[in-house]
Structure 1
Amino acid sequence: MNQETEPSAATTAAPSSSPRSRQLRLVALTVVLTVLAVALVPVVLNLGPPTRDELMERAGMKGKRELLIGVKDDQPGIALQLPGGGWQGFDIDVAYMIASYLDFDRSKVVLLPIESEDRARRQAPYNDRFVTVDMVIASYSVTDERTREGATFSAPYLHTEQSVVTRANEPGPVSSLEDLRGRRVCTLTTSTSQARLRDVGAEAYGRNKISECVQELHDGRTDAVTTDAAILAGFVTASQDPDAFPTTLKNVKPLRHWDIGSSPQERWGVNTGPNTALRDLVDLALHASAKDDENKVWEEAYDDNLRWQQPFNRPQSVAEEQQPEPRKVEVRQWPWERFALPLPGHPGPPTPPVRSAARVGRPGRGRRSSGC
């Protein structure tokens, strides 16, 4: 009996040590993984892309009291300063959208009128002196020359094209710049289109503001105005509908918008100067706008400011009705952040549209840059 019971005792004792061994192995594995995690975190932090919070720190946005943005003030539909001091236009809505992503509400955003020649160096008047703005959102076309001058552009936020405006009673057609041979043509001083106009035999000259060119067109002191279609569209619309925009222009006469079909695509970008971290944040804001199905700020800005103008400007397309493809910026997120982080803030209610939007726009064509 003893010989039969001894193996039985040994057999029952062996399993009691198995759970303990498994527990020890599990503890050892946990310790190893913890040590590896602690060792790898600094490597990930040093070698991986920055977080959005780190970009905000690098860009100088943390604790900043106000965000200075240089904008145009004389372009109806794009950026217009209203008689009461408010602002209206597509660029204005884009500016507030980007500011919201940077955690600035509208009360902390300061919009400053900026001249075309000052956009590269980001200089604008503020409280009786010139200051360097944080960014420029001022119908600013992306060109290599401007990059060499010091501009640092975000991905494009609007695509349009160069066009020509004349008085409605002027003989036509104007289907190319060559049709302006021998005629007096006004454009922006900093526009590269002046040289091309002279090449085709036009009498080209520049003004600091496009509204000055349009006023001279109404006054009969010039035969045509050329710049980006999205800029000219508002003046054409206002010339046909006096209630479309508040204006200080005088002797307003009906204008006609011509599709010259010879310029490349105009790609408007945001200039952040040497602040590349801010450039990346702007691109993140544009990416969120383009890729988030619930973010309709860009579409609303287009509808409220540009789309409804299309009937006044046919056959010229005002601008492409799709937001350009954004640049993808790599940012570091821990797995739990992807679920916990809120979506970028909405800039709040936009300025009420001047006209109800109608789906009448059409996509633009690829053209050559006029550098406006």
Structure 2
Amino acid sequence: MSQESGPGRADPAGPDPTPARTPRSRQVRLVALAVVLSVLAVALVPIVLGLGPPTREQLLERAGLKGKRELLIGVKDDQPGIAQSLQGGGWRGFDIDVAYLIAGYLGFARSQVVLLPIESEDRARRQAFHNNRFVAVDLVIASYSITEEREKEGAIFSAPYLHTEQSVITLATENGPVSSLEDLRDQRVCTLTTSTSQARLREAGARPIGRNRISECVQELYDGKVDAVTTDAAILAGFVTGGRGDNPFPATLRNAKPLRHWDIGSSPQEKWGVNAANRDLRDLVDLALHASATDPKDRSWETAYDANLRWQQEYNLPQPVAEEQQPEPRKVEVRQWPWERFALPPPGHPGSPPAPPRVSVRVGWWGRARRNSGC
């Protein structure tokens, strides 16, 4: 009778000849793998940084803002509702609020923002008079319409931050109608010297008179020296509103008279943009405008519009003052690590997921064929 192995009997073949891995050898392999990954990371990071878009910090560095204590911004000072220096100090207006909106995104407190009056002819070269000399400002936010001619002159425009159109004002006693520039034939019409309106006025048979400041044109209208004034509707609306609400006139104006706003229906959207000192600073401005437009919690632009422009509409009918939605922003690509997306909330950190697009409450406002006035 043969014998069979029992359930508890040892395997006659003997123990497994393959030696078991020790904990120490496993640790050595893990350490070696970590070293290899670290070396690869050190080698790849410069490649990624060199090939990808810049970070926000790199844009700030390249724009010349790192370590900068003040941000110089050129603005108009004689446009009620847009940008006006107040008696006793201080500033007020839509452009002023936009200036602070952008400055805050760039990391500057309101106390670090220096607002400097700038003349229309100096906006392209960003020159403003300060401390008895002309200085170069970092940004120009001065009801400055985006045109190809100005870009050829050296202006570096951001995406638009406001849409308006060209219009005409006369004394309220003018019976009209003024539905086009042709209705001003043989009349004296004042506009800004640097705008393209002068050429259009000549084409229409009017007699253009150029001035450096729109408030000078309005004063001549009060004094009977001109018959009408033409420029962007958002600018003229503040003069038509006349001191109503919390909208004082420039102190230099005298003998103010009631005015009438006419919709001439012959200009396109006047797209106001920011003229930046360089393209990196332009990109930062666009990042600020994009954050403002896409963050549902950020009401800075809407608050500026309501406080300075919306309430004026009833006094300027039938002329629209300005489009009541922030223009579509330009998206600027910036590099960020995945964890940065959650480190800072918008708008303090560009690149956050955009909010669903807001629906415009005005459709077809610019449906007519219009030409640019270049104010």
Task: Please give the TM-score of this superposition, normalised by the length of structure 2.
Answer: 0.88
Change over 3 Å in CA distance of 1:363–1:112 after alignment to 2? farther
In the alignment, the residues of structure 2 paired with residue 14 and residue 7 of structure 1 have an alpha-carbon distance, to the nearest angstrom, of 17
Using the TM superposition, give the Cα deviation of residue 323 of structure 1 relative to its aligned residue in structure 2, in angstroms. 0.6
Structure 2 residue 346 is matched with structure 1 residue 316: no
- Aligned-pair RMSD on alpha carbons? 2.6
Q: Deviations over 1:197-230 (max 9, x none)?
A: 1011000111000001011111111111000000
Stretches of structure 2 lacking an aligned partner (at least 5 in a row): 350-360
Letter in 2 for 1:118: D
The number of aligned residues is: 356
Alignment of 1:225-240 (within 5 A): 225-238=229-242
Corresponding residue of 1:99: 103
Change over 3 Å in CA distance of 1:166–1:4 after alignment to 2? same
Structure 2 residue 261 is matched with structure 1 residue 257: yes
Using the TM superposition, give the Cα deviation of residue 339 of structure 1 relative to its aligned residue in structure 2, in angstroms. 1.1
Alignment of 1:313-352 (within 5 A): 313-344=316-347
Alignment of 1:9-24 (within 5 A): 10=15, 17=21
Using the TM superposition, give the Cα deviation of residue 345 of structure 1 relative to its aligned residue in structure 2, in angstroms. 5.7
Change over 3 Å in CA distance of 1:7–1:217 after alignment to 2? farther
In the alignment, the residues of structure 1 paired with residue 58 and residue 106 of structure 2 have an alpha-carbon distance, to the nearest angstrom, of 12
Q: Deviations over 1:32-59 (max 9, x none)?
A: 4433322211101111111111111111
Corresponding residue of 2:366: 365
Local SS of the residue matching 1:289 = helix
Counterpart pick for 1:157 among 138, 157, 161: 161
Counterpart pick for 1:77 among 63, 72, 81: 81
Change over 3 Å in CA distance of 1:31–1:252 after alignment to 2? same
In the alignment, the residues of structure 2 paired with residue 318 and residue 99 of structure 1 have an alpha-carbon distance, to the nearest angstrom, of 26
Corresponding residue of 2:44: 40
Alignment of 1:132-281 (within 5 A): 132-238=136-242, 241=244, 244-248=247-251, 249-273=253-277, 275-281=278-284
Corresponding residue of 1:6: 11
CA contact (8 A) 1:160 1:230 kept: yes
Runs of 4 or more off by more than 6 Å in structure 1? 18-25, 360-363
CA contact (8 A) 1:74 1:80 kept: yes
Change over 3 Å in CA distance of 1:345–1:23 after alignment to 2? closer
CA contact (8 A) 2:55 2:336 kept: yes
Corresponding residue of 1:297: 300
Local SS of the residue matching 2:301 = helix
CA contact (8 A) 2:189 2:228 kept: yes
Local SS of the residue matching 2:226 = coil
Local SS of the residue matching 2:320 = coil
Using the TM superposition, give the Cα deviation of residue 244 of structure 1 relative to its aligned residue in structure 2, in angstroms. 3.4
Letter in 1 for 2:303: E
Change over 3 Å in CA distance of 1:7–1:77 after alignment to 2? farther
- Structure with the larger helix share: 1
Letter in 2 for 1:103: G
Letter in 1 for 2:185: R
Q: Which is greater in Rg?
A: 2
In the alignment, the residues of structure 2 paired with residue 245 and residue 16 of structure 1 have an alpha-carbon distance, to the nearest angstrom, of 89
Identity %: 74
In the alignment, the residues of structure 1 paired with residue 175 and residue 116 of structure 2 have an alpha-carbon distance, to the nearest angstrom, of 39
Corresponding residue of 1:355: none
CA contact (8 A) 1:265 1:369 kept: yes
In the alignment, the residues of structure 1 paired with residue 327 and residue 68 of structure 2 have an alpha-carbon distance, to the nearest angstrom, of 30
Change over 3 Å in CA distance of 1:8–1:105 after alignment to 2? farther
CA contact (8 A) 1:266 1:368 kept: no
Local SS of the residue matching 1:5 = coil
Corresponding residue of 1:128: 132
Local SS of the residue matching 2:276 = coil
Letter in 2 for 1:335: P
Change over 3 Å in CA distance of 1:57–1:49 after alignment to 2? same
In the alignment, the residues of structure 1 paired with residue 90 and residue 216 of structure 2 have an alpha-carbon distance, to the nearest angstrom, of 21
